[in-house]
């Protein structure tokens, strides 16, 4: 099930621009790891290298290693499509497929991968994952309505249901609550707490309180200077980072002295 | 005077508006309204205060500026029409169009002037812009309405079951009767064949350009699509004529016409589809890719359905464009009065060619047939359009509740 991620000397580029440089860290299985840091420091870029979504951007390329339970994601014969099936992702803005109903959105990952299911089987999967995303009770009477008709928070939970329906082992979340109100944010955070018993979760957030609330480990990233690539400053248990960080920059950032 | 303190470019609208709303006790020194001016509302008098209450608050003119009453525009319009008619009669202008133009100009000028005087410069400019937009709308729509109206009025009497199910075989130009069946059949077959040739090429080219194309090849393809879009239809016709009929000696046929039509259709399909594909947000592609969906399936199942409506509209525009082409048909399909169901051998006819032929006969029955065939052509294109829209609505993004 949930897998451990080891990042070794990872450098990522957008064309000639180096976005992050020489990142080495690991992510524990069945736990929540938060990435924090100022805008443009490469948190999202690092997140996108973990399921090979970085290379979807034109000019995006990566040097270094990302090991998923000791298997290098950037190895010579690795299929990026297979990687993305194992490492799911939830984006900053809720993005349900506009042509599909709520039901079809949850089933999209399975159907689009060309796997044929019996109707009853698919019904079970859809219900299980909507329950898993704490959305079932709100939508069970309108599964055939378009997903775009839901509220922002519901759409985001629909996207989470869609992501976990393909049964990934790792779930990456790129600022999943930044477009949501506090109540929806709370719903998502409760959900993250529930999901971490089964998945390895990595979450990028700009909200320090959120990082403190939901994560077990926190990684702080920073830019040494404008135009320079982002670097990992430190990664440690969340309590330690928020109470007694070993690098003064981290404390400055967390206490709001800059950033 | 406060005016001195204002920057010189201030139009003075605010000042004027404030003045106009002031109680009459305070004279607006420069441009006070005459009491009986049309539309000049009596200045907002403070409502009588209840006895014993505090003195009424000062009126707040900025929030309730003077407005022209509703009927003033109708009155202005009537007045302008009267002026236009009078001017036309006095100057003995024979064209009623000139009367209308004079009335329109008077109406615009009077509306602007009056609004500027009563409501201020900003609202006057707003009204002027609105009038210009309406005028442009009318200029765009009137010819269309006139064209459709004229075609329906002249063509409708000639369209009946007989007309739609008979050819012109054995009918002489001065005789009544005859029909459009062979031309309708020809148009349908030629447009269908051209679509079969052009749609796969056009759609796949657009998908390549947007989803896969990088670097030089994509730039070259884009350039040649633009070049193709500029080819006049007669040149496309001559090209196919020289290749298909003169060099390969394959003879006149509906297919030869379809080849030329496909040449004309492809760039339109590519450009419109390209635009639509670019409108699909990247987030949807990323959402599908992040689910572990291969790129080709993402394109096929997520990207294309999302913009199906726009693509269908573009395809319909292309179809409508080629359904009305005459030049390549004249060169390559040749035209006939008989029914030829086989688009691969022998001459066929088509609706635009039929209209052209009948018109050139110059007899009354032929004129009637030309108008009726023109109506059939317009109705056909309209029908295709509605079909495509229905298809797009059925497959496209679902609107929220």
For residue B65, what pLDDT is reported? 78
Q: Do B395 and A81 touch (CB under 8 A)?
A: no
> How confident is residue B3, by pLDDT bands cut at 50, 70 and 90?
very low
Neighbour count for residue B72 (Cβ, 10 Å): 17
> How confident is residue B16, by pLDDT bands cut at 50, 70 and 90?
very low
Chain A's closest residue to B300, CA to CA, is A112
DSSP B233-279: HHHHHHHHIIIIIIIS---S-HHHHHHHHHHHHHHHHHHHHHHHHHH
Q: Do A53 and B305 touch (CB under 8 A)?
A: no
For residue A163, which residues of chain B lie inside 8 Å, CB to CB?
290-291
For residue B55, what pLDDT is reported? 59
For residue B355, what pLDDT is reported? 93
CB contact residues (below 8 A), chain B span 291-310, against chain A:
291-294, 297-298, 301-302, 305-306, 308
For residue B285, which residues of chain A lie inside 8 Å, CB to CB?
56
Please, what are the domains in chain A? 5-95+169-255 (3.40.50.300)
- Considering CB atoms only, which of B284, B308, B395 is closest to A97? B284
Nearest-neighbour CA in chain A from B191: distance (Å):
30
For residue B9, what pLDDT is reported? 46
For residue B258, what pLDDT is reported? 94
Report CA-CA distances (Å) from A17 to A44, A227, A228: 15, 9, 9
Is the pLDDT reported for residue B37 higher than 60?
Answer: no
CA gap B121, A137 in Å, rounded: 57
- Top pLDDT among B342 and B10 is at B342
Q: Average pLDDT over chain B, rounded to whole?
A: 82
Tallying the residues shown for chain B, one arrives at 401
- Cα angle, residue A143 at apex, residues A137 and A144 outer, rounded to 5°: 160
> How confident is residue B73, by pLDDT bands cut at 50, 70 and 90?
confident
> How confident is residue B60, by pLDDT bands cut at 50, 70 and 90?
low
- Considering CB atoms only, which of B290, B301, B400 is closest to A53? B290
Is the pLDDT reported for residue B257 higher than 60?
Answer: yes
> How confident is residue B147, by pLDDT bands cut at 50, 70 and 90?
very high
For residue B32, what pLDDT is reported? 44
Q: Do A98 and B301 touch (CB under 8 A)?
A: no
Neighbour count for residue A219 (Cβ, 10 Å): 26
Q: Do A146 and B396 touch (CB under 8 A)?
A: no
All residues at 6 or more sequence positions from B398 whose CB lies less than 8 Å from its CB, including other chains: A98, A99, A100, A101, A145, A146, A148
For residue B237, what pLDDT is reported? 92
CB contact residues (below 8 A), chain B span 194-233, against chain A:
214
For residue A85, which residues of chain B lie inside 8 Å, CB to CB?
291-292
Write out pLDDT tens, residues A117-144. Answer: 888 889 999 999 998 888 898 998 999 9
Q: How remote is the C-alpha of A138 from its chain's centroid?
A: 24
For residue B341, what pLDDT is reported? 85
Residue B236 has φ and ψ, to the nearest 5°, of -60, -40
CA gap B295, B357 in Å, rounded: 51
CA gap A230, A13 in Å, rounded: 11
All residues at 6 or more sequence positions from B392 whose CB lies less than 8 Å from its CB, including other chains: B308, B309, B310, B311, B312, B313
Whether the CB-CB separation of B108 and B86 falls below 8 Å is answered with no
Is the pLDDT reported for residue B63 higher than 80?
Answer: no
For residue B301, which residues of chain A lie inside 8 Å, CB to CB?
112
Count of A-B CB contacts under 8 Å: 90
Residues B223-236, mean pLDDT to the nearest whole number: 92
> β-strand A17-27 against A32-36: which pairing, if any?
unpaired
Q: Which of B280, B283, B289, B290 would best serve as a mutation to test chain A binding (most A beta carbons within 10 A)?
A: B290
The verdict on B399 touching A (C-beta cutoff 8 Å) is yes
Nearest-neighbour CA in chain B from A19: distance (Å):
20
Q: Do B302 and A97 touch (CB under 8 A)?
A: yes
> How confident is residue B26, by pLDDT bands cut at 50, 70 and 90?
very low
Is the pLDDT reported for residue B24 higher than 50?
Answer: no
Residues B240-247, mean pLDDT to the nearest whole number: 90
Q: Which of A44, A87, A91, A95 would best serve as a mutation to test chain B binding (most B beta carbons within 10 A)?
A: A95
Question: Six-digit token pair at B220?
Answer: 């070259």
Residues B38-46, mean pLDDT to the nearest whole number: 46
8-state DSSP, B210: I
What's the pTM?
Answer: 0.76
Report CA-CA distances (Å) from B131 to B109, B121, B124, B237, B345: 11, 15, 11, 45, 56
Q: Do A166 and B292 touch (CB under 8 A)?
A: yes
For residue A46, what pLDDT is reported? 93
pLDDT per residue, tens digit, chain A (259 aa), is: 678 899 999 999 998 899 999 999 999 998 999 999 988 888 999 999 999 999 888 888 999 999 998 889 998 888 988 899 899 999 989 999 988 899 999 999 888 877 788 888 899 999 999 988 888 989 989 999 988 889 888 999 999 999 989 888 899 999 988 888 888 888 889 889 988 898 899 999 988 889 999 999 999 999 888 888 999 999 999 999 998 888 988 888 888 876 5
Q: Do A53 and B293 touch (CB under 8 A)?
A: no
Q: Do B281 and A114 touch (CB under 8 A)?
A: no
């Amino acid at each position: 099930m949930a897998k451990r991620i080891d990042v070794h000397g990872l450098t990522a580029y957008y064309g000639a621009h180096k976005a992050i440089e020489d990142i080495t860290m690991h992510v524990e299985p069945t736990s929540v790891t938060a990435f924090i840091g100022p805008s443009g420091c490469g948190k999202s870029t690092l997140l996108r290298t973990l399921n090979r979504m970085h290379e979807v951007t034109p000019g995006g390329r990566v040097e270094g290693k990302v090991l998923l339970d000791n298997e290098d994601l950037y190895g010579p014969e690795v299929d990026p499509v297979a990687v993305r099936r194992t490492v799911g992702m939830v984006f900053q803005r809720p993005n349900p497929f506009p042509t599909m109903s709520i039901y079809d959105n949850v089933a999209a990952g399975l159907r689009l991968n060309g796997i044929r299911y019996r109707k009853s089987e698919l019904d079970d999967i859809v219900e299980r994952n909507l329950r898993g995303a704490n959305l079932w009770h709100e939508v069970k009477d309108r599964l055939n309505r378009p997903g775009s008709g839901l509220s922002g928070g519901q759409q985001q939970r629909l996207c989470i249901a869609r992501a976990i329906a393909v049964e990934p082992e790792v779930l990456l979340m790129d600022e999943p609550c930044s477009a949501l109100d506090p109540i929806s944010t709370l719903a998502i955070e409760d959900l993250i707490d529930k999901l971490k018993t089964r998945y390895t979760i990595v979450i990028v957030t700009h909200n320090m309180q959120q990082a403190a609330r939901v994560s077990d480990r926190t990684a702080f990233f920073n830019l040494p200077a404008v135009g320079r690539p982002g670097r990992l400053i430190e990664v440690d248990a969340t309590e330690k980072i928020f109470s007694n960080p070993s690098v003064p920059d981290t404390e400055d950032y967390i206490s709001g002295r800059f950033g | 005077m406060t005016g001195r303190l204002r920057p010189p470019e201030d139009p003075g609208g605010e000042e004027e508006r404030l003045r106009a709303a002031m109680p009459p006790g305070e004279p607006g020194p420069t441009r006070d309204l005459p009491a009986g001016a049309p539309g000049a509302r009596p200045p907002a008098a403070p409502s009588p205060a209840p006895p014993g209450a505090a003195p009424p608050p000062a009126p707040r003119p900025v929030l309730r500026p003077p407005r022209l009453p509703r009927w003033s525009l109708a009155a202005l319009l009537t007045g302008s029409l009267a002026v236009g008619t009078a001017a036309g009669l006095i100057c003995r202008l024979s064209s009623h169009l000139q009367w209308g133009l004079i009335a329109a100009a008077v109406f615009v000028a009077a509306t602007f002037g009056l609004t500027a005087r009563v409501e201020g410069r900003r609202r006057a400019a707003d009204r002027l812009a609105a009038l210009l937009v309406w005028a442009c709308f009318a200029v765009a729509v009137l010819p269309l309405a006139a064209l459709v109206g004229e075609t329906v009025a002249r063509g409708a009497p000639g369209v009946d079951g007989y007309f739609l199910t008979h050819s012109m075989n054995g009918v002489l130009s001065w005789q009544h009767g005859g029909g459009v069946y062979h031309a309708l059949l020809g148009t349908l077959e030629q447009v269908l064949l051209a679509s079969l040739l052009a749609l796969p090429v056009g759609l796949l080219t657009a998908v390549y350009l947007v989803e896969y194309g990088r670097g030089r090849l994509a730039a070259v393809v884009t350039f040649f699509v633009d070049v193709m879009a500029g080819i006049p239809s007669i040149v496309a016709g001559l090209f196919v004529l020289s290749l298909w009929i003169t060099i390969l000696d394959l003879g006149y046929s509906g297919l030869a016409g379809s080849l030329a039509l496909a040449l004309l259709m492809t760039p339109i399909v590519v450009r419109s589809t390209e635009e639509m594909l670019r409108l699909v947000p990247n987030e949807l592609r990323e959402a599908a890719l992040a689910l572990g969906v291969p790129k080709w399936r993402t394109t096929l199942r997520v990207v294309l359905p999302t913009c199906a409506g726009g693509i269908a509209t573009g395809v319909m525009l292309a179809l409508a464009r080629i359904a009305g082409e005459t030049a390549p048909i004249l060169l390559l399909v040749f035209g006939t009065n008989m029914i030829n169901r086989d688009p691969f051998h022998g001459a066929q006819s088509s609706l635009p060619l039929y209209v052209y032929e009948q018109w050139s006969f110059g007899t009354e029955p032929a004129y009637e047939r030309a108008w009726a065939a023109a109506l059939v052509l317009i109705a056909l294109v309209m029908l295709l359009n509605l079909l495509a829209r229905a298809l797009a609505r059925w497959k496209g993004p679902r609107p929220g509740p």
